[in-house]
Amino acid sequence: MSFGKNIRTWFEGQWHEGDIPVMRAADHGLWQGSNVFDGARLFDGLIPDLDSHMARVNRSAAALMITPTIETDAMVEFAREGLRKYEKGAAVYVRPMYWAVNASELGVSPAPNSTNFALCLEEVPMPDPEAATTLTTTSFRRPVMADNVCNAKAGCLYPNNARMLVEAQRKGFGNALVQDAMGNVAETATANVWLVKDGEYFTPIANGTFLAGLTRKRHMKNLREAGYTVHEAVLTLDDFRAADEVFLTGNFSKVTPVKAFDDVTYEDRKFTRKARELYMDWAVSCPL
């Protein structure tokens, strides 16, 4: 089931129209969860960090012990070819995916050199940049490297994220502010998180419990080059309660303002808008 429309799928060496079947019932990636993906975004004729997203899906595959089979440059070319078929101005989610096909002798681990690849393009509108979300706490936490593949964008991590999100939404909030195993803030259920205090930007330090996103990295670079102070720091729930502004960053929306964390509200968005403005100014350098 897709969440977009106007889908195109690259599979087995060619483009197909629509949401075609690519995985079989006995594929290891289905019944044992050995699958990884990544996501890039086409909007306004721009495709920021496409090569970085394609390179990361190969790193994710290796981290999950499945064999990547497509070079980064080739994936980039496949994506550009497929995206050029969309109407001018279309907003498209770009999702490369790997999964293991065969199992090893014991079944649980994937067989080496037994990997399938697909690239799915879905037309999905960019969210309204002024549409703000709300945050609450969650009883679920991010795992550590000893528990799960926190260094990969792996499908097996997302059921836990879904629990966080569903719990938050049942409480009447839009998203969850998630702690790591030590009780420090890691991210939200769907994106990396930032706070602004006294004109300086703060984001949780990458400690191996969450994927420090490519869009997060791009924002850090843009803000620092513009002269702003950016801290990667150990942050607590109380730090967010005391913040002047809070926002999320990720490939899907780039910047999402936060208007409340439980009963704390954030009135100003000046620095949130500045982060988005700097990102969009930089993105002009990344045409399709």
Is 133-284 in CATH node 3.20.10.10? yes
Using one digit for the tens of pLDDT, what is the confidence trace for 82-107? 999 999 999 999 999 999 999 998 89
DSSP letter assigned to residue 43: B
Helix (H, G, I), strand (E, B) or coil at 235: coil
Do 10 and 19 meet the contact criterion of CB atoms below 8 Å apart?
no
Do 235 and 184 meet the contact criterion of CB atoms below 8 Å apart?
yes
pTM of this prediction? Answer: 0.96
Neighbours of 30 (CB within 10 A): 16
Using one digit for the tens of pLDDT, what is the confidence trace for 117-138? 999 999 999 999 999 999 999 9
**Over 60: is that where the pLDDT of 211 sits?**
yes
What confidence score (pLDDT) does residue 2 get? 62
CA distance linking residue 39 with residue 4, whole number of Å: 14
At residue 199 the predicted structure's pLDDT band, cuts being 50, 70 and 90, is: very high
CA distance linking residue 283 with residue 221, whole number of Å: 13
At residue 4 the predicted structure's pLDDT band, cuts being 50, 70 and 90, is: confident
User: N- to C-terminal Cα distance for the chain?
Assistant: 27
Q: Which two tokens stand for residue 192?
A: 């990396």
Query: Out of 3.90.320.10, 3.30.470.10, 3.40.50.20, 3.30.450.20, which CATH number does the structure's domain 7-123 have?
Result: 3.30.470.10
At residue 1 the predicted structure's pLDDT band, cuts being 50, 70 and 90, is: very low
**Over 80: is that where the pLDDT of 42 sits?**
yes
Q: Which two tokens stand for residue 226?
A: 């513009």
Residues of the chain with CATH 3.20.10.10: 133-284
Picking from 88, 8, 126, 112, the residue whose alpha carbon sits closest to that of residue 287 is 88
When computed from its CA atoms, the radius of gyration of the chain, rounded to whole angstroms, is 19
Neighbours of 183 (CB within 10 A): 9
